Amino acid sequence: MALAEAGARGRLLRWPRVLLFGDSITEYSFQENGWGAYLADRLVRKCDVVNRGISGYNTRWAKLILPRLITESTSAGSIVAVTIFFGANDSALKDLNPKQHVPLEEYAANLRSMIQYLKSVDITEDRIILITPPPLQESAWEKACLAKGDKLNRCNATTGEYAQACVQVARDCGTDVLDLWTLMQRSQDFSSYLSDGLHLSTKGNSFLAAQLWSRLEKKLSALPSLLPYWRDVDHTNPEASLL
């Protein structure tokens, strides 16, 4: 059978998608042992995991981008879950990092705005997971800042205020939330979760992956594997199994 004929007979295969939207902690998540790569491996044959992490971005910029990533006419129907993972840059101290800083009230409003946009394109609350920024290990991040000629431009207490705001937005809007800032600090020494005081280490990636999977698994457990297992393909008549 010619390929064109096979394509005409068979239904177009569309993989559902999980969209990861965030800053550098999301962008780096497909690196070796990253939390995004873990999800992609767990969901292979069921979903495409799409990385839309953008290093250095805050919610002020993210809310402008989101409608360019997802539109009702082209993509929303295939999305089975979205993570929104911002706050590490928004919570930068205004006096020392005014470019990335977003005031706390605006940060919360921006998260609400993104949730409302997703709902407007029929991505319901039960498919949205907010993730708070992780805690900041100040001494390690100060070393990273000094190496670039900068002063310490974040503090953990301020990051915690943004994490609390993220949790409150999720409660108000009816979405799921992963409070990474609180969960990681249940360990006496949370610095092992971070590679440079801000970004995730291998241990931190594993921690986030496990926490996020426990939420996604419930949402995605009913999704079937796409295409039959190879032993189930009728080798004498593969068209009957595959088209």
Which of the residues are catalytic?
24, 196, 199
Residue 177 · residue 166 · CB < 8 Å? yes
How far is Cα of residue 49 from the mean position of the Cα atoms in its chain?
10
Q: List b or e across 157-192, with b for residues whose CB sees 16 or more CB atoms inside 10 angstroms.
A: ebbbebbbbbbebbeebebbbbbbbebbbeeeebbe
Residue 69 to residues 20, 114, 195, Cα–Cα distance (Å)? 11, 12, 29
CA neighbor of 205 nearest in space, from 215, 217, 195: 195
CA neighbor of 26 nearest in space, from 78, 87, 67: 87
Residue 66 · residue 52 · CB < 8 Å? no
CA neighbor of 34 nearest in space, from 177, 192, 194, 209: 209
Place of tokens 């992780």: 134
Q: Which residues are within 8 A (CB) of 5 and not within 5 positions of it... i.e. 6 or more apart?
A: none
